[in-house]
C-alpha cells in the first residue's frame, strides 16, 4: 500500500510540473504579466494543489524524496 501511494504521489508531482512547463510555453507566445510573475504564480498554484491532494490522502510531504522533492520545492 505504501509503495502504491508513493507512486501515486510521484505521478502527481510530475503531472503538476509538466502542466507548469506547458503553461509556460503557452505564456511565452504573449501575455500581460512578466514571465517571472507568471511562472511564480503558476508554480505556487501547482504546489498548493499538490499539497491539498497530499493532505486528502494523508501522505506526509516529508516522505517525498529525490527529484520529486526538488520539483516540489521549486
Quick: pLDDT tens for 3-58.
Answer: 666 777 777 777 777 776 666 666 565 555 676 777 777 777 777 777 777 776 67
Q: What is the residue range of 30's domain? A: 2-73
The Cα–Cα gap between 10 and 4 comes to 10
Q: How large is the C-alpha radius of gyration of the chain?
A: 14
Share of residues in the chain with pLDDT > 70 (%)? 43
Measured at the CA of 19, the angle between CA 13 and CA 21, to 5 degrees, comes to 105
What are the grid coordinates assigned to 28, written together?
511565452
Give this prediction's pTM.
Answer: 0.43
What burial class does residue 56 get, using C-beta atoms within 10 Å of its C-beta: 0-12 exposed, 13-18 middle, 19+ buried? exposed
Total structural domains within the chain = 1
Query: Is the pLDDT assigned to residue 68 strictly greater than 70?
Result: no
Amino acid at each position: 500500500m505504501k509503495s502504491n501511494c508513493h507512486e501515486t504521489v510521484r505521478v502527481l508531482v510530475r503531472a503538476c510540473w509538466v502542466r507548469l512547463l506547458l503553461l509556460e510555453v503557452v505564456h511565452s507566445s504573449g501575455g500581460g504579466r512578466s514571465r517571472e510573475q507568471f511562472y511564480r504564480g503558476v508554480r505556487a498554484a501547482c504546489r498548493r494543489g499538490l499539497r491539498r491532494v497530499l493532505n486528502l490522502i494523508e501522505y506526509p510531504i516529508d516522505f517525498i524524496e529525490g527529484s520529486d522533492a526538488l520539483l516540489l520545492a521549486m
